Amino acid sequence: MQFERLSIDDPLANEVLVRVERVGLCHSDLHYVRGSLSIDLPALLGHEVVGVVERVGGSATRFQTGDRVVATVTPSCGACAQCLAGRPTQCCRVDTLRARPRPKHTAQDGSTVGSLGSVGAFAEAILVSESSLAAVDRSVPAEVACLLGCCITTGVGAVVHSARVTPADIVAVIGCGGVGMSAIQGARLAGARRIIAIDTVPGKLDAAKRFGATDIVLTAPSVDETVAALFQIVPTGVDHAIEAVGRTVTAELAFACLAPTGTATILGLMPEGARLTLPADALVYGDRVIRGAYMGANRFLSDVEMFIDHYRNGRLDLDAMVTRVVNFADINDGLTAMGEPDTVRVVVDMTEASA
């Protein structure tokens, strides 16, 4: 990525201008940087963000100047069929909520610059719909608060809202990055009787134990070998497998780990056009289920308050999720650090950029 000076528009009636404090580096951002996911260029990336409200549009009523907020890439209207059914990440009006009659950002030559998820948080300020924001208390450290916008809502949300894990369940989590560690913590919160972490990196598996994994499996060269290692721990398979990588092979692994009637929940974003190959007999005879859960099927506005309560009461360890903080000038180094074995989440401190 490269640094450019951009102009940001004034808030429309339903919009809020937020001065950015911290941004978490998500693997979705890395996918766009590497080109494995497409986006119209030029574009501002970044979406896992916390900041302070600086200006409010005329019809925005939920926030005022000085409020501290976190953002989501899945704004919801609260009134469509999906929202009323408790599925706000599938809001029927999301495109309308993001639409605006003029560009948010323009380059110095006057050309338009897009923004990831209509957020674009790798900047000094963001301009978003009021429906994209949730309030967060100032007692929550900024490095922690930004995680509520993506990895926590996705990982814990998938366990609570999509998989609906219970104390009777055995859960496998594939991929021990930020979202995977969040899912492990979510399974622990839900009381899962066993939580099996699966990853290619031994150091990440060691960290997974600290976040609540009861068992670990080091990924083998083939899916069959990895499944065999898991079946040595739980011979009948798992009730829930949660995939947090974004590869077809790990999605297929999630399905292969299931016990009869089990559910594989796929969280990782995959390249456009990717296809999964699943054994039809295991699907039908075993009543197994595979499903997606975009952004963990979270319920952002109510979830943020829930997560904060669990954090304050020591049931959700957010501090340990942040393994490195870098300045905005070093954001490319932060993206590189995402591949290091001890990394869970890298957070960018944006306050120097605003100084």
Q: Map residue 94 onto helix, strand or coil.
A: helix
Q: What is the DSSP string of 17-62?
A: EEEEEEEEEPHHHHHHHHTSS---SSEE---EEEEEEEEE-TT--S
Q: Where are the alpha helices (DSSP H) in the chain?
A: 27-34, 81-84, 94-98, 142-145, 151-157, 178-190, 202-211, 223-233, 248-256, 280-285, 300-312, 331-337
* Same domain (yes/no): 18, 57: yes
Q: Find the angle CA(299)-CA(304)-CA(308) to the nearest 5 degrees.
A: 145
Answer yes or no: is 212 within a domain: yes
Place 37 in a pLDDT band, splitting at 50, 70 and 90. confident
Q: Which residue has the higher pLDDT, 35 or 101?
A: 101
Structural contact between residues 306 and 298, judged by C-beta atoms closer than 8 angstroms: no
* Total domains, the chain: 2
Residue 268 has pLDDT above 90, yes or no: yes
Question: Cβ–Cβ contacts within 10 Å for residue 37, how many?
Answer: 18
Q: Tell me, yes or no, whether 282 and 303 share the same domain.
A: no
Domain limit, last residue, from 278, 293, 308 = 293
Report, as an integer, the average pLDDT of 129-140. Answer: 94
Higher pLDDT, 353 or 335: 335
Whether 15 and 104 share a structural domain: yes
| pLDDT value of residue 247 | 94
* 8 A C-beta contact, residue 60 and residue 45: no
The label of the residue with tokens 């990525």 reads 1
- For residue 201, the domain's CATH number is 3.40.50.720
Confidence label for 271 from pLDDT (cuts 50, 70 and 90): confident
Q: Are residues 92 and 197 in the same domain?
A: no
Burial 298-320 (b: 16+ CB within 10 A, else e): bbbbebbeebbebbeeeebbbee
Residues 336, 345 contacting (CB under 8 angstroms): no
Residue type, 353: A
352 pLDDT higher than 80: no
> Using one digit for the tens of pLDDT, what is the confidence trace for 38-60?
888 899 999 999 999 999 999 99
Q: Residue 315: which CATH number?
A: 3.90.180.10
Residue 355 has pLDDT above 70, yes or no: no
Average pLDDT score over the chain = 94
CA distance 140 to 21: 13
Beta bridge partners of 349: 22, 327
| Total Cβ atoms within 10 A of residue 135 | 15
- From 258, 274, 293, the end of a domain falls on 293
State whether 220 and 139 are in the same domain: no
Which of the residue ranges 107-111, 143-147, 208-212, 316-320 would you say has the lowest mean pLDDT? Answer: 107-111
Q: Is the peptide bond before 141 cis (omega within 30 degrees of 0)?
A: no
| pLDDT of res. 40 | 86
Give the global pTM. Answer: 0.94
Lookup result for tokens 């074995």: 341
Q: How does strand 112-115 pair with strand 68-71?
A: unpaired
Does 306 reside within a domain?
yes
184 pLDDT band, cuts 50/70/90, is very high
Q: Are 97 and 91 in contact (CB under 8 A)?
A: yes
Examine the domain organization and report whether 111 and 169 are in the same domain.
Answer: no
Whether 2 is covered by a domain: the verdict is no
Written as six digits, the tokens of 190 are 């839900």
Residue 353 has what pLDDT? 62
In a domain, 228, yes or no: yes
Q: 355 lies in a domain?
A: no
Which whole number is the average pLDDT over 81-107?
93
Tell me whether residue 1 is in a domain.
no
185 & 282 share domain: yes
Domain match, 162 and 213 both? yes
Query: How many other C-beta atoms are found inside a 10 Å radius of the C-beta of residue 263?
Result: 23
Question: What pLDDT does residue 354 have?
Answer: 52
- pLDDT exceeds 70 at position 9: yes
Our measurement of the distance from residue 152's CA atom to the centroid of its chain's CA atoms, rounded to an integer in Å, reads 6
Structure tokens at 328: 């905005």
Task: Say if residue 231 is in the same domain as residue 311.
Answer: no
Domain that holds residue 175: 157-293
For residue 31, what pLDDT band results from cuts at 50, 70 and 90?
confident
